A and B are shown apart, each in its own frame.
Chain A
Amino acid sequence: MCAAGNWTARFAPALERIVSDAEKLRGSRPHIFIDVSQVASLDTFGAWLIERLRRSLSDASAEAKIAGLSANYSSLVDEVSRVGAAPRAATEALSISGMFEQIGRTVVGIGGTIIGLIDMLGAVLAAAAKVLIRPRSFRLTSTVHHLEQVCWRAVPIVVLITFLIGCIISQQGIFHFRRFGADIFVVDMLGVLVLREIGVLLVAIMVAGRSGSAYTAELGSMKMREEIDALRTMGFDPIEVLILPRMLALVLALPILAFLGAMAALYGGGLVAWLYGGVDPEAFLLRLRDAISIDHFIVGLVKAPVMAAVIGIVACVEGLAVQGSAESLGQHTTASVVKGIFFVIVMDGVFAIFFASIGM
Chain B
Amino acid sequence: MAEQEVDAIIRVRDITVQFGKTRVLDGLNLDVKRGEILGFVGPSGAGKSVLTRTIIGLVPKVAGRIEVFGVDLDAANSAQRQAVERRWGILFQQGALFSSLTVRQNIQFPVREYLRVSQRLLDEITVAKLAMVGLKPEVADRYPSELSGGMIKRVALARALALDPELVFLDEPTSGLDPIGAGEFDELVRTLQRTLGLTVFMVTHDLDSLYTACDRIAVLGNGKIIAAGSIADMKASQHPWLQQYFNGKRARAVVA
State whether these chains interact. yes
Give the segment of A105-113, A253-261, A322-330 that binds chain B. Answer: A322-330
Is B33 part of the contact surface with A, judged by Cβ < 8 Å?
Answer: no
Is A149 part of the contact surface with B, judged by Cβ < 8 Å?
Answer: no
Is the pair A44, B128 in contact by a Cβ cutoff of 8 Å? yes
Once the chains are docked, how many angstroms separate the CA of A328 from the CA of B196?
A: 37
Is B95 part of the contact surface with A, judged by Cβ < 8 Å?
Answer: no
Q: Give B126's nearest chain A residue, CB to CB.
A: A86
Is the pair B164, A86 in contact by a Cβ cutoff of 8 Å? no
- The answer to whether A8 and B164 touch (CB under 8 A), given A86-B126, A324-B99, is yes
Is B127 part of the contact surface with A, judged by Cβ < 8 Å?
Answer: yes
Residues of A within 8 A of B104 (CB): 89
Once the chains are docked, how many angstroms separate the CA of A313 from the CA of B124?
A: 47
Residues of A within 8 A of B195 (CB): 75-76, 79
Is the pair A9, B99 in contact by a Cβ cutoff of 8 Å? no
- The answer to whether A45 and B125 touch (CB under 8 A), given A8-B164, A76-B196, is yes
Is A84 part of the contact surface with B, judged by Cβ < 8 Å?
Answer: yes
Is the pair B196, A89 in contact by a Cβ cutoff of 8 Å? no
Report, as a range, how many residues of chain B touch the other chain: 35 or more
Is B220 part of the contact surface with A, judged by Cβ < 8 Å?
Answer: no
Residues of A within 8 A of B140 (CB): 87, 89
Is the pair A324, B137 in contact by a Cβ cutoff of 8 Å? no
* A79-121 near B? 1/0 per residue, CB < 8 Å: 1101111111110000000000000000000000000000000
Is A13 part of the contact surface with B, judged by Cβ < 8 Å?
Answer: yes
Once the chains are docked, how many angstroms separate the CA of A90 from the CA of B131?
A: 20
Report, as a range, how many residues of chain A touch the other chain: 20 to 34
Q: Give B99's nearest chain A residue, CB to CB.
A: A325
Instruction: List residues 313-360 of chain A with CB under 8 A from any CB of chain B.
Output: 323-328
Give the segment of B114-122, B176-184, B206-214 that binds chain A. Answer: B114-122
Is the pair A89, B115 in contact by a Cβ cutoff of 8 Å? no
Is the pair B115, A84 in contact by a Cβ cutoff of 8 Å? no
Is the pair B141, A89 in contact by a Cβ cutoff of 8 Å? yes
Looking at the assembled complex, report how far the CB atom of B212 sits from the nearest CB atom of chain A, in whole angstroms.
18
Is B100 part of the contact surface with A, judged by Cβ < 8 Å?
Answer: yes
22 example contacts (A-B, Cβ-Cβ < 8 A) are as follows A9-B111, A10-B115, A12-B115, A13-B115, A43-B196, A44-B132, A45-B125, A48-B124, A75-B191, A76-B195, A76-B196, A79-B132, A79-B191, A83-B128, A83-B131, A84-B127, A86-B127, A89-B141, A90-B141, A324-B146, A326-B98, A326-B99
